[in-house]
Structures are given as C-alpha cells and as structure tokens.
Amino acid sequence: MVCMEDLQVRNMSRSAAGSAGAPGRNVRAKSALSRSILDQGWFEFRRQLEYKLAWNGGLLILVPPHHSSRECPVCGHTEAGNRRTQARFCCLECGYSEHADRVGAINVLAGAPRGSLWIDFARSRGVGPGTRRSESGERSCGAPAP
C-alpha cells in the first residue's frame, strides 16, 4: 500500500502570465517553478507507480492534499501559522512540534483508510497528546500555553 497526495500537476504548472487586462504577478518565478515541476516528472512518477503497484498486487491510495502540512496530527488544529517556515511545524493549539515534511507524511497516511497500519505507525513514532513538550510543560516551539 502506498499513500500519496493527489496533486493536480496540470494546475500547478499552469501559466501565470494572465491576460492583457489582468496581467499575472511574479510570472518569471512561477515560470521557473512550473518548469521545475514538469522536469521532475511528477505525473509520470505517479502513473508508473500506479502501474507497478497494480502489476504486483499493491494498492495506491490518493489523498486530497488540502492542508496536509498545516494540520496538527495530534489535535487536528489547522492554521497557516502552524507552519511558520518551510521546514518547521509547530501547532499553535497544542504545541506539537516536528519537521514539516514528517507532519505532511503523517497526515497523508492518516487520510488513507484507518487501520492497524496507522495505529502502529502512530504508536511507534510517539504521536499523541503530550508529545514534544519539556518537563516543565513548556512547548518546544514557543506557542502560548492554553
């Protein structure tokens, strides 16, 4: 079983030039990002993965990508402020702190049908209430106490 975000590559690589009446902003940066996305071959990777999994009896589960890197896997609080930097996640509600990519992966896995795989993963990683706090009860990311 492989879980991945159902990213809309076509929409992500769409032109940002706009029109004569409503010109786009940051067109050069968006163009470079689009070129990078297409060069990586995300769509082809997904297509090949789906093909190989089907060939070998595996399962590809596509999970909606909405807020996967902003939602706390512990308390479910979703806010843009939970992810202040590209690499760091810190829940403003409960104080859970972790690398942002790991939080995204946990949330993608959580978006798949729940079962013993998710429960075992969560237990083995220490995901749950009260994690990532110091002995004094202070949150590791400086989030205000409730």
β-sheet bridge partners, residue 63: 5
Element (H, E) at 49: helix 42-55
Q: What is the mean pLDDT of residues 46-65?
A: 86
Q: What is the mean pLDDT of residues 105-113?
A: 80
Q: Which of 32-36, 61-65, 127-131 has the lowest mean pLDDT?
A: 127-131
pLDDT of residue 119: 44
Beta strands in 9-118 (DSSP E): 60-63, 88-90, 97-99
pLDDT of residue 130: 41
- Percent residues over pLDDT 90 in the chain: 13
For residue 146, pLDDT over 80 is answered with no
Q: Which of 19-23, 99-103, 136-140 has the lowest mean pLDDT?
A: 136-140
- Phi first, then psi: give them for residue 113, nearest 5 degrees: -55, 130
Claim: this prediction has a pTM higher than 0.75:
no
Q: What is the mean pLDDT of residues 116-136?
A: 47
For residue 20, pLDDT over 90 is answered with no
Q: For 68-79, what is each residue's pLDDT tens digit?
A: 888 998 898 999
| CA-based radius of gyration for the chain | 19
C-alpha span between 117 and 47 (Å, rounded): 24
